[in-house]
């Protein structure tokens, strides 16, 4: 079984190679993203393994089908870069990694949050410059605050459990609220307007769909508490970036932590330090002292990388052996 692995970096490869070795699979690594220009590279392979910013639209999938590639084994949870309907029509199976290490992403939520509310990023720079003043570094306690989670899946639940440990009141909004889950975690499932109005901190953990695109828009931001904080470690398109910048300028938001960004493709995961940012909105966001941006690294732990690689290879093995694809993505997902 030959697998073409796209959009790879050095940190990807060791875990994937180790996992593939257990199954006897051969990997070909490409640093390029899979898209219209690079799809010819899949020739001679049985499976493609794309990442979050690869683009597999109908035209790309049709080319893959002509090259007899019938399995897309995503190594991420998100699948908005794949035309799922076209894949089904072409007989191409699509699998994903729905849960690799929920704790890895949830813990990154609090890395961003604590940096923002205690201003440690600013304190770090001051001390390096010999400035030990505390002026302007007043933060706030998490204990006693209301922590709202939009999307109560595995990562959302992990974030809520951490928030409970900090002594937060926890609110959750989900399409499928669960009284049992609420009792287990000690959270309250509420409608989204209640969550927006009452939360001091809002953490996004919803998938990106047509329904959730720009879920956090100007209307939603206006409903939030003045001086609240929003953290997004899920998908960039959940937030309307233009509206977000306006809320930061007016002071409606006290802080924003982004591990994902609406237009991150071609920017995140790349070293662009030798050139000016071409994205004016991203450049503007980097100027705010109360905005923390990381480059989609919530998944980047040893444990998560190993879990991702193992699940990818298990998905491929199930497909190869004609077993049910427990992590399949189908139309309507």
In a domain, 328, yes or no: no
Residue 106 and residue 96 in one domain: no
Q: Which residues pair with 3 in a beta bridge?
A: 27, 47
Note whether 57 and 152 are same-domain residues: no
State pLDDT tens for residues 223-271. 999 999 999 999 999 999 999 999 999 999 999 999 999 999 889 988 8
Pair 10, 151 in one domain: no
Q: Is residue 264 annotated as part of the catalytic site, yes or no?
A: yes
What does the pLDDT look like over 84-100, one tens digit per residue? 999 999 999 999 998 78
Asked whether residue 30 carries a pLDDT value surpassing 90, the answer given is yes
pLDDT over 90 (residue 110): yes
**Inside any domain, residue 232:** yes
Q: What would the mean pLDDT of 60-71 be, rounded to a whole number?
A: 97
Provide the phi-psi class of 61: left if phi over 0, else alpha when psi is between -120 and 50, else beta. alpha
When pLDDT is averaged across residues 300-315 and rounded to a whole number, the result is: 95
Which residue out of 45, 75, 205, 296 is catalytically annotated?
A: 296
Candidates 252, 198, 200; CA nearest to 222 is 252
Distance CA 201, CA 146 (A): 7
Q: Given the residues 235, 262, 310, 314, select the one marked as catalytic.
A: 235
Alpha-carbon distance 299 to 219, whole Å?
Answer: 30
* pLDDT attached to residue 178: 86
CATH number of the domain where residue 6 is located: 3.40.50.720
| Sheet of 71-73, strand order | 26-29, 2-5, 47-49, 71-73, 93-95
pLDDT of residue 319 exceeding 90, the answer is yes
Return the pLDDT at 313.
98
Q: Is 137 within 8 Å of 183 (Cβ atoms)?
A: no
Can you say how many angstroms the Cα of residue 213 is from the centroid of all Cα atoms in its chain? Answer: 14
To the query of whether residue 70 is one of the catalytic residues in this protein, the response is: no
Q: Is residue 219 part of a domain?
A: yes
Instruction: Over range 7-17, report the average pLDDT.
Output: 92
Q: What pLDDT shows up at residue 179?
A: 87
DSSP 216: B
Q: Are residues 185 and 272 in the same domain?
A: yes
Same domain, 175 and 215: yes
Please check whether residue 47 lies inside any domain of the structure: yes
Q: Are residues 89 and 171 in the same domain?
A: no
Mean pLDDT of 290-313: 95
Considering the candidates 75, 96, 108, 264, report the single residue annotated as catalytic.
Answer: 264
pLDDT band at 333 (very low <50, low <70, confident <90, very high): low
Is residue 262 domain-shared with residue 136, that is, in the same domain? yes
- Looking at residues 19-35, what average pLDDT do you find? 96
Among this protein's residues, is 274 annotated catalytic? Answer: no
Percent of the chain beyond pLDDT 90?
Answer: 90
Q: How many domains is the chain built from?
A: 2
Same domain? For 167 and 275 the reply is yes
Beta strands 2-5; 26-29: pairing state: parallel
What is the token pair recorded at 242?
Answer: 């233009």
Tell me, yes or no, whether 333 lies in a domain: no
Instruction: Please indicate, yes or no, if residue 332 is contained in any of the structural domains.
Output: no
Strands (E), 102-207: 146-150, 169-173, 188-189, 201-204
Q: What is the average pLDDT across 187-214?
A: 96
Q: Check residue 39 and report its DSSP letter.
A: G
Q: How many CB atoms lie under 10 A from the CB of residue 90?
A: 15
Q: Which domain holds residue 43?
A: 2-100+301-320
Whether residues 90 and 149 fall in one domain: no
Q: Please tell me whether residues 22 and 133 are part of one structural domain.
A: no
Q: Does one domain contain both 166 and 209?
A: yes
pLDDT, average across residues 19-41: 96
Quick one: pLDDT at residue 101?
86
Sign of the four-CA dihedral 317, 102, 52, 329: positive
Which pLDDT belongs to residue 77?
Answer: 86
Across the range 281-301, mean pLDDT stands at 96
Which pLDDT score is estimated for 80?
Answer: 87
Give the model's pLDDT for residue 48: 98
Domain check: are 161 and 262 in the same one? yes
Instruction: Kindly state the tokens that stand for 138.
Output: 């007043």
Q: Is the pLDDT of residue 14 over 70?
A: yes
User: Does any domain span residue 325?
Assistant: no
Please choose, from the candidates 218, 259, 207, the residue with its C-alpha nearest in 3D space to the C-alpha of residue 241: 218
On average, the pLDDT of the chain sits at 95
């Amino acid at each position: 079984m030959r697998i073409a692995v796209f959009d790879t970096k050095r940190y990807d490869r060791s875990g994937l190679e180790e996992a593939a070795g257990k199954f006897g699979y051969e990997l070909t690594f490409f640093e390029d993203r899979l898209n219209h220009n690079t799809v010819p590279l899949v020739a001679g392979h049985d499976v493609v393994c794309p990442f979050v910013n690869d683009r597999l639209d109908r035209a790309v999938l049709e080319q893959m089908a002509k090259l007899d590639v019938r399995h897309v084994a995503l190594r991420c949870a998100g699948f908005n870069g794949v035309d799922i309907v076209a894949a089904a029509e072409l007989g191409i199976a699509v699998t994903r990694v729905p849960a690799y290490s929920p704790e890895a992403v949830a813990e990154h939520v609090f890395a961003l949050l604590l940096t923002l509310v205690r201003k440690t990023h600013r304190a770090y720079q001051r001390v390096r410059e010999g400035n030990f003043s505390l002026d302007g570094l007043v933060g706030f306690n998490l204990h006693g605050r209301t922590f709202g989670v939009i999307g109560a899946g595995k990562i959302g639940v992990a974030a809520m459990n951490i928030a409970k440990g900090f002594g937060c009141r926890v609110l959750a909004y989900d399409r499928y609220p669960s009284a049992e889950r609420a009792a287990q975690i000690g959270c309250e499932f509420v409608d989204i307007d209640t969550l927006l109005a009452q939360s001091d901190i809002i953490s996004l953990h919803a998938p990106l769909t047509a329904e959730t695109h720009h879920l956090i828009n100007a209307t939603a931001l206006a409903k939030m508490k003045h001086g609240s904080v929003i953290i997004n470690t899920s998908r960039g398109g959940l937030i309307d970036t233009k509206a977000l910048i306006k809320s930061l300028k007016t002071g409606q938001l006290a802080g924003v932590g982004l591990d994902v960004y609406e237009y991150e493709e071609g920017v995140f995961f790349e070293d662009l330090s030798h050139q000016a940012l071409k994205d004016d909105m991203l450049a503007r966001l980097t100027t705010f002292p109360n905005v923390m941006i990381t480059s989609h690294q919530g998944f980047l732990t040893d444990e998560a990388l190993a879990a991702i690689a193992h699940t990818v290879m298990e998905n491929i093995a199930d497909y190869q052996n004609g077993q049910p694809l427990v992590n399949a993505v189908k139309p309507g997902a």
